[in-house]
Amino acid sequence: MKRQWWDWGLAIASVGIFLTALGMVFLYAPREATMGEIQRIFYFHVASAWIGFFAFFVTFLTGVIYLITSQRRWDVLSLSSAEVGLAFITMTVITGSLWARPVWGTYWTWEPRLTISAVQWLLYVAYVMLRTSTLSQERVARFAAVYGIVAFVTVPLSWFAIRWWRTIHPEILSGGEMAITPRMLHTLLVSLAAFTALYVTLLRQRALLERDRDRLAALQARWVAEGDIGDV
């Protein structure tokens, strides 16, 4: 994995799409009738929730591939996706709470989607803590892959368990309380694109950072072995 010219392109593109999405959220999307301006947080909230879940899926998938192939690059992707996903899921929980306060009258409620985000957040945090808690890199890679797989499998079970337990969330796409207009849909789709582009950019940068760390570790090992850095 090397830095490429299109890494810049990717970063610039995601900034561009993001600014477009931001503009659409405030200028293009209509004001929602019952919830008012607060509903505008919905576009970024849903987009970050989608990325939070998608990143988890990537961690799961690359974990499976790593266990089969034992190639470091899959582990790097798995780790990067989990860390970036943690940032997005944190944002989902925060924007969800901000939305819930004026609409439901409370920052926190044990509503299924809010709860499953919290559960996912805990799983991500556990995964990241596991990554930093053992010494051998090859070992931690295997452990993390297994944990990523088990964690991903429990998410749908948690989802059903919580859903059967209670539900008061607005059913957006199945014609519940909040009717969605075409302009709202366009804004949502551009927001999803913006968050996806941002995710890919961050994933790529995090993976490159990990590669640099590997190179640094290899150089340090050589330096210790030879007693000299030599020609780098």
Partner 1 sequence: MGALRQIGAIVAKDLAAELHTREILSAMFVFAVLALVIFSFALDLEGAAGRAAAPGVLWTTIAFSGTLGLSRSLAREQQTAGISGLLLAAEDRAVIFAGKALGSFLLMLIVEAVLLPLGTVLLGVNLLRLELGLIVLLGTLGYATVGTLIAAIAVNTRAREVMLPILLLPLLIPLLIGAVQATAGLLEGLRLAEVGVWVRLLVVYDLLMAAVALLTFESVVEV
Interacting residues toward partner 1 by CB under 8 A: 67, 119, 122-123, 125-126, 129-130, 133-135, 139, 142-143, 145-147, 149-151, 153-154, 157-158, 160-162, 164-165
Q: Which is nearer to partner 1, 22 or 146 (CB)?
A: 146
Place of tokens 């551009």: 190
Virtual torsion, Cα 12, 185, 162, 94, nearest 10 deg: 50
**139 is written with which tokens?**
């070992």
Q: What single DSSP character describes residue 61?
A: H
Place of tokens 């790097």: 76
Quote the least distance from Cβ 14 to partner 1, whole Å: 30
With beta carbons less than 8 A apart as the criterion, state whether 47 and 188 touch: yes
**Coil, helix or strand for 222?**
helix
Quote the least distance from Cβ 79 to partner 1, whole Å: 16
Strand partners, 72: none
How many angstroms separate the CA atoms of 171 and 168, rounded? 9
Q: Which is nearer to partner 1, 96 or 148 (CB)?
A: 148
Quote the least distance from Cβ 106 to partner 1, whole Å: 21
Q: Which is nearer to partner 1, 129 or 224 (CB)?
A: 129
Q: Which is nearer to partner 1, 133 or 174 (CB)?
A: 133
Number of other CB atoms surrounding residue 184 within 10 Å: 22
How many angstroms separate the CA atoms of 232 and 229, rounded? 7
Quote the least distance from Cβ 144 to partner 1, whole Å: 9
Q: Which is nearer to partner 1, 21 or 86 (CB)?
A: 86
For the chain, give the number of residues: 232
Quote the least distance from Cβ 162 to partner 1, whole Å: 7
Number of other CB atoms surrounding residue 22 within 10 Å: 15
How many angstroms separate the CA atoms of 86 and 109, rounded? 21
169 — phi, psi (to 5°)? -70, 145
Q: Which is nearer to partner 1, 136 or 174 (CB)?
A: 136
Place of tokens 């429990």: 154
Quote the least distance from Cβ 164 to partner 1, whole Å: 6
Q: Which is nearer to partner 1, 114 or 188 (CB)?
A: 114
Quote the least distance from Cβ 155 to partner 1, whole Å: 9
